[in-house]
Chain A
Amino acid sequence: MSAVSTAEQSTYQAETKFGRFTDFVDQRVGGSGILKEFGRKVFPDHWSFMFGEVALYSFVILLMTGTFLTFFFDPSMAETHYHGSYSPLYNVEMSVAYNSSLNISFEVRGGLFMRQVHHWAALLFVASVSVHMLRVFFTGAFRKPRELNWVVGGVLIILAMAAGFTGYSLPDDLLSGNGLRIIDGVIKSIPVIGTWISFFLFGGEFPGTAIIGRLYVLHILLVPALILLMVAVHLFMVVVHKHTQYPGPGRNDRNVVGYPLGPVYAAKAGGFFFIVFGVIALMAGFFTINPIWNYGPYDPSPVSAGTQPDWYIGWVDGALRLMPGVIGAVDGYRQHFEFIIFGHVLTLNVLLPALVPAGIVFTVLFTYPWIERWITKDDREHHVLDRPRNAPTRTAIGVAGFIFYCVMWAAASSDLIATHFKVSLNDVTYWLRALFFIGPVLGFIVAKRVALALQRKDREIALHGRETGRIVRLPHGEFIEVHAPLNDYKRYRLVSFESPKPLPAQPNSHGVVDRKERRRAKFSTWFFEDRVAPITPAELEAAHAHGHHGEVESGEETKSLSH
């Protein structure tokens, strides 16, 4: 037996010291196998794949700067008097947490810089996660087999917001305390258990002396650990699935075309980390973020007009602003949105805007892959992305959702909009209330029209070539613009997509078409009826036979687009 196992061992002897060292490690961890598997793994490249990288890198930067901050930050809410070097606050009564944040800013060398990098990285982190998610949505990268990774991404975006909010609250300045007060008010509106949750969260009445310490544990331990776990799962799945690729010559659902990991891809991706870090450092050096010394310590009494939460909380705050609490005149008919039911308070003016828009956004977010799967009955694996224009209805849904979000986001700045454009604040609110409902619908319609128009333009180009801007006069006197024909590679990019037709209701295994299936067919019609088909070789031939100018009818089949 021992003879067999020794016979299998390699007799390789490394020559250099370094060689002997790597060989030692390799024999114990099997590094050769790992390098063989991953060293030349192919990664497709595209600028839009960068957002996920930015997210990952800003998270790494958050871990590094955050760890530095923990060495100096003290999350206690005990009272103290400030004796640091920032004279306007000298001897002011404040919490130890706020005091230590001031000391990080003014006493610890480089401390202000670390706070600035941490905060800018946090803003960039949530922003890049969000844009990354939009990229995945609009290109259809969430389709089979990546639905679960889309869900992991959704969890990550919620965790990112949680990380940001818990961090924003830590310095215990006037603004962060006000943010907590709003959260407390929202929590209290929850039926039955709201008051209890509030008391359990704050360890008694607001603000109490427990909340900063509790948020601290969430902020530096629980939430980052969960993010780390989710990021690991996320990236593991990316490796298992292999990256998606944009359509183009040589690319299909059975292969992956791009650059080998080592050296080019690794160099570009690794170098990019330093670029992200450098850009954040520049922002931190030049643009002040969260100057907590200007706000003063938290106090439930002072005014704070014109202040803004961090951008990713804005949409929730904006939703709170949009909801009217009462409608009607003070001394005439009045409808309150707070109801007393069997002696208990249901305060819908807070509960509805806090729960419903976020509920809609996250429900659609988490279920969308399955919604589309159900409508299209598409069970194939997709590794080639859709260009957004080639999936007009999905693109329109995404734009509608984006506008829904942006209206709420804008509402969080309604007072700034009003003062900046010198209009009445109430009017801004009325307009935004209208846009809250109309905006997504308009966005849907416009986005769909634009996508279809772009598709038609693609057809034009695929058929007749690119416009060169050069005008020539034909012998019989007509002026035409010269079109440069596309080569096969460029043309393939414009024609290699699917344009499915609505899928009529199918009978089930008992041979009947049930109600659910008929509903699905209706959705399918809605999803696919406006379509532009890619050109076919026959069409191209026909176009060429007619010479290189003029137009060919667009190959669309729509209910409403008849010109």
Chain B
Amino acid sequence: MGNHSDGSSTSSSTVATAGQHDEGAFQDPGIPPHRPRLADKDPKAAKRAERQVAVLFIVSVIGTLVFLVTYFAIDLTNTSTTGTIGLQNMLLGIGTAFAMLGIGTGIVHWAKTLMPDHEVSEDRHALRTEEDRQAAVAIADTIIEESGIKRRPLIRNTLLGAVALAPLPALAVFGDLGPRPDDKLAHTMWAPQNGKLKRLTRDPDGTPIKASDVTIGSAFHVIPEGLNELESGKLNEKAKAVVLLMRLNPDELNPSKGRENWAYNGIVAYSKICTHVGCPVALYEQQTHHLLCPCHQSTFDLTHECAVIFGPASRPLPQLPISVDEEGYLVATSDFHEPVGPSYWERDEHERRLDS
């Protein structure tokens, strides 16, 4: 057992561990005796507590009044600036807070100081007694017996079949929640219409962009010509068609085979919809030529056809092939050659179709 005062704890501590069961545990001393509070002993203290509770309730009344005065006295119709609204909001908050906290703290204070605080003990009862269980089983047996469901399997099986099928219409009626996806995700507004190439225009006002406007280092947020004039579905089209336009030194671009003439004098256009889960990739770092998506920080390298260099995206941003028209405005020579935005099950199929 060693020396108790040297502080070393030996591992041969048989005393401590040898069965908490046989060595016996401590006797439960029972609920501690009630300790009277100040207000239990001293009538003056009780009176004081009573007054404190009343004051708290009065505070609540004042809070309610503050709320009402704020609501009716501050007129939003002619002076409503964010300042007055902020002020009204704050005063409504203060009023409500006092109204509620007054009642709440008052009641709790009352309970804590003046209501009896004797702890009491109540017995728990079994959630289920054996007697009940047997009675329940007997009842269940009777019910099953009287229904005859066990004796008549034909009824049981046809019922099961009917019940299993009955919910199907309930599923089927949801068929019109949406249209078939088909290949809608694969096409954008950039596709030339009746042989006319779409101009690149500024987001949001839709003015066309001359190649000469795009200086080295600058970046434009771009929407297709005609987007603003759409009668319906404008946001749907915008959600696929937004593009970032930037100009680099042509030597810094490394176009792959087949993409050599997708840029114009170092001006390149890339889809702004992140290939991760679709946020707008809208941060352009001029020095590094990186595009950054603010949602999950996917980073794309403009000098490598927007290949992913960091973050959760797995595919490069799709490039929009561009050129200039006879008036010098930038145009898209075709739609994207792959679906833009996040991946989806049928995407590869669509991409192969677009590419051919």
Contacts and interface: CB of A to CB of B under 8 A. Distances in A.
B101 A337 contact: no
A12 B58 CA distance: 40
A187 B153 CA distance: 44
B31 A250 contact: yes
Contacts, number: 398
B283 interface: yes
Interface string A319-342: 011111110001100001110100
A344 interface: yes
B313 interface: yes
A261 B12 CA distance: 50
Contacts of B140: none
B90 to A, nearest CB: 5
B310 A536 contact: no
B288 interface: no
Interface in A397-427: 414-415, 425-426
Nearest to A265: B111
Contacts of B82: 86, 293
Interface stretch (B144-152, B158-166, B301-309): B301-309
Given A303-B282, A546-B5, A551-B9, A185 B103 contact: no
Contacts of B111: 263-264, 267-268, 271
Nearest to B106: A271
A372 B163 CA distance: 37
Contact of B348 (A113, A283, A343): A343
A282 B98 CA distance: 9
A255 interface: yes
Nearest to B3: A550
Contact of B312 (A190, A320, A546): A320
B343 A338 contact: yes
B345 A194 contact: yes
A496 B20 CA distance: 11
A121 to B, nearest CB: 12
Contact of A275 (B105, B239, B278): B105
B16 A271 contact: no
B105 A350 contact: no
B108 interface: yes
Of the four ranges (under 10, 10 to 19, 20 to 34, 35 or more), the interface on chain A belongs to: 35 or more
Interface in A108-141: 109-110, 112-113, 116-117
Given A255-B122, A353-B312, A555-B17, A495 B107 contact: no
Most A Cβ at <10 Å: residue of B92, B282, B349:
B92
Contacts of A39: none
B95 to A, nearest CB: 8
- Please list the 5 inter-chain residue pairs (A to B) with the smallest Cβ-Cβ separation, ordered nearest first: A285-B93, A555-B16, A185-B277, A274-B104, A271-B107
22 contacts: A106-B80, A182-B279, A195-B185, A195-B345, A199-B181, A253-B124, A260-B120, A264-B111, A264-B115, A271-B110, A273-B104, A274-B103, A275-B105, A281-B93, A282-B97, A285-B89, A299-B204, A300-B238, A321-B312, A429-B297, A537-B24, A551-B4
Given A259-B117, A323-B312, A555-B15, 19 more contacts: A107-B76, A181-B277, A185-B274, A185-B342, A188-B342, A259-B119, A274-B102, A274-B104, A275-B108, A278-B102, A300-B242, A302-B280, A325-B298, A326-B308, A353-B312, A415-B294, A537-B23, A555-B13, A555-B16
